[in-house]
């Protein structure tokens, strides 16, 4: 197995773009961004081979883990394009808050152009006007990011629509139309939707139209399996949040079963979801987020995507690949191991709203609610800030 280095076309980068710093929170971590566009960068891609060990010629732990999984920096954008080359991006309310906090960021013009949009400005209803501005801002920034990364751009769908299947679908159609107006093709896009039953059903319907979806806030096997059955393109599980809940709570049967087996409940959830997806031929790609340390990454080698904190990436980059007594670079997740995994009849059900509601435990209920509350609060803060600065000069 080997690492393939690819450089994006020169059109992805512009040496004339200014440098700027942007600070903001992504999930539970804060980051400072330094954009440097003075030269192109290589993109690390995971090899598709099935070898279970790392070539001895690799020089760092980051090289090693990148042969098994695609490693994504845990920032809304990227803290350092040169040290940790980006392959994909997410545009969200959190990102817009960061952009609005600094007037000199290279993305600020995308927001200002949204506020000057002639379609939104004439709307008499303040709520509709602000919603229009937010959609335009998300898409304008997403369009800029699509020029900077070789992979897909995931666009957050308003969390206030989390329990409205048709509202989610309408919003995605609106966003897709706006992306079409700036010539970003659908294959470069994902739409990030909360994994409520209504969100999962929206994903199913959108995927049937050929629109790629990214289901987030997955904290239980039932959610993951339902998302896979819906055909979601990407399913995101938050490893560390499940672990954190388990440390201070009890009473979730799925988590307690993992602990009784001597397993970390967050890692066990990713493993089980991966095995389900691969054993039964679902198309979904699995993303492990909220990993906290190198051991988490080593335990997840083989999962499609791992979102890793910058401090962990830096540690991986600075460490040589010689195996020690504590860590090894064996592939932990693979289609071969998935084929050997046994599921119960209850786990192989055709999931619907009632069975999903019955299967998810208190951890999933509480963590999903907390995640939605955070997204809703961020969306409201964005609208408040846009309302204060609208109309911009010369409008």
Residues with a known catalytic role: 192
What phi, psi does 376 have (nearest 5°)? -65, -45
Q: CB atoms < 10 A from the CB of 150, how many?
A: 17
Residue 215 near residue 203, CB atoms below 8 Å: yes
């Amino acid at each position: 197995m080997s690492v393939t280095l690819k450089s994006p076309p020169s059109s992805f980068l512009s040496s004339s773009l200014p440098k700027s710093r942007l600070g903001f929170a992504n999930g539970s971590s804060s980051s400072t961004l330094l954009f440097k566009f003075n030269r192109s960068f290589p993109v690390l891609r995971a090899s598709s081979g099935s070898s279970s060990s790392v070539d001895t010629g690799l020089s760092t732990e980051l090289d090693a883990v990148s042969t098994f999984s695609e490693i994504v920096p845990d920032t809304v954008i990227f803290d350092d394009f040169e040290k940790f080359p980006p392959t994909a991006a997410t545009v969200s309310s959190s990102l817009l808050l960061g952009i609005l906090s600094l007037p000199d960021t290279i993305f600020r013009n995308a927001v200002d152009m949204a506020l000057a949009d002639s379609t939104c400005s004439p709307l008499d209803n303040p709520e509709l006007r602000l919603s229009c501005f937010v959609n335009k801002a998300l898409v304008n920034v997403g369009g800029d990011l699509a020029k900077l990364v070789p992979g897909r751009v995931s666009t957050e769908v308003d969390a206030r629509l989390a329990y409205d299947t048709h509202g989610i679908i309408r919003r995605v159609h609106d966003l897709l139309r706006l992306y079409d107006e700036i010539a970003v093709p659908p294959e470069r896009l994902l739409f990030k939707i909360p994994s409520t039953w209504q969100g999962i059903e929206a994903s199913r319907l959108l995927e049937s139209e050929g629109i790629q979806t990214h289901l987030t806030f997955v904290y239980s096997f039932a959610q993951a399996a339902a998302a896979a059955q819906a055909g979601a393109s990407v399913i995101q599980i938050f490893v560390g949040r499940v672990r954190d809940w388990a440390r201070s709570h009890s009473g979730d049967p799925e988590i307690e079963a993992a602990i009784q087996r001597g397993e970390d409940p967050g890692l066990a959830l990713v493993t089980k979801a991966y095995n389900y997806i691969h054993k039964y031929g679902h198309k979904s790609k699995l993303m492990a987020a909220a990993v906290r340390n190198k051991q988490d990454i080593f335990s997840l080698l083989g999962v499609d995507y791992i979102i890793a904190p910058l401090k962990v990436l830096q540690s991986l980059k600075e460490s040589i690949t010689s195996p020690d007594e504590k860590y090894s670079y064996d592939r932990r997740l693979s289609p071969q191991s998935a084929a050997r995994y046994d599921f119960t009849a209850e786990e192989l059900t055709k999931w619907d709203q009632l069975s999903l509601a019955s299967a998810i435990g208190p951890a999933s209920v509480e963590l999903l609610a907390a995640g939605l509350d955070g997204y809703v609060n961020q969306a409201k803060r964005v609208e408040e800030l846009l309302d204060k600065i609208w109309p911009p000069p010369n409008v």
